[in-house]
Amino acid sequence: MQSALASQVPAELRERFNAARNVLVLTGAGVSAESGVPTFRGGGNSAVWKGMPFDEISSARMVERDLPAVWEWFDYRRGILQEIAPNAAHVAIARWQHKFSGFSLVTQNVDGLHQKAGSREVIEVHGSIWRARCIACHERVGIPEHGSRPLDCNNCGDRLRPDVVLFGEMLPEGAFELAADKASECELCLVVGTSALVYPAASLPEIARAGGAYLCEVNPERTPLSDFCDVVLTGKAGELLPLLEDGPRL
Ligand code: BV8
């Protein structure tokens, strides 16, 4: 007997998923929601930090205006993340890297939870909260999950900033181009847990579609992308993604 959830997976999607040779998954904050990481938008709220909307505190302007405030915001988020584990969605996606002959994972998230779940070669188009970068020489340095954050650049002594792409900043050299190439080559594109509002990442599903991909969105809410997709699975990623894998019908 199929569970109500499993019946949400249309036969065509399941067939395509099992037959696919080249798959791309694009994730946003929603894939980490069931781990307890607050999303930025949706659910009637948007992230606010000390009265500033998140796209203000997470902006290039703020790095120039008040770098200590930007660090306080990222230190706070890293503190939350230290206690957080990947959820069933991250774990399913990590399994998929061995399931298909061609598999790409592009994430807008900076939380590192895909890597924690075992995903490798993750294309992080918005950088990582677990790295810092020198303002002057751009030398990068890792930030330990437990322990103090490096303060100044070992290379030139100048100040460090989060190695995260803030609003109004270019994406990491080559990251978007690589993601766009993979999107144009895939035959199945799964868009998981993103409001599809932030560009250029939000243009990746369009690039996949232009390359002939079958588009599937996984999200409890409708997004501007929903009508553009071949199929929309309405629900939580942690519940729905494991159902895509061919296994005993629940
Ligand atoms: C750029 C890192 C070129 C920081 C982020 C003016 C000047 C400059 C640029 C612009 C401008 N006006 C517009 C732009 C472009 C701008 C943009 O797109 N703005 C939007 C908001 C209109 N983009 C940029 O600035 C980008 N750079 O364009 O460079 C340039 C440069 C200079 C001048 C001109 C052009 C840089 C964008 C990157 C910004 N950094 N993050 C940080 O983390 O603090 S973006 C931020 O939003 C996050 O990274 C996040 O990934 C991203 C998108 O959000 P989502 O991941 O989708 O999360 P969200 O909360 O929105 O949605 C969650 C979804 O999950 C919801 O749909 C919800 O229903 C769903 N969900 C909830 N629970 C679940 C679930 N789904 C599944 N399962 C669940 N359980």
pLDDT tens-digit profile of 73-132?
A: 999 999 999 999 999 999 999 999 999 999 999 999 999 999 999 999 999 999 999 999
**Residue 153 structure tokens:** 């650049």
- Residues 104/125, Cβ–Cβ less than 8 Å: no
Residue 161's H or E segment, with its range, is strand 160-164
Domain boundaries, the chain: 2-36+85-126+171-244, 38-83+128-164
Instruction: Please tell me the pTM assigned to this model.
Output: 0.95
Give the CATH superfamily of 2-36+85-126+171-244: TPP-binding domain (3.40.50.1220)
Is there a catalytic annotation at residue 126? Answer: yes
Nearest to 78 by CA among 110, 103, 108: 110
**Residue to substitute in 167, 190, 203 for testing ligand 1 pocket (most ligand atoms within 8 angstroms of CB):** 167
Nearest to 29 by CA among 191, 204, 177: 191
Nearest to 164 by CA among 41, 82, 57, 86: 57
Q: Is the CB of 162 under 6 A from ligand 1?
A: no
Cα of 197 vs centre of ligand 1, distance in Å, is 6
**Residue 250 structure tokens:** 């629940």
Q: Whose CA is nearest to atom 80 of ligand 1?
A: 236
pLDDT tens-digit profile of 29-85?
A: 999 999 999 888 865 566 778 888 888 999 999 999 999 999 999 999 999 999 999
The fold adopted by the segment(s) 38-83+128-164 is: SIR2/SIRT2 'Small Domain' (3.30.1600)
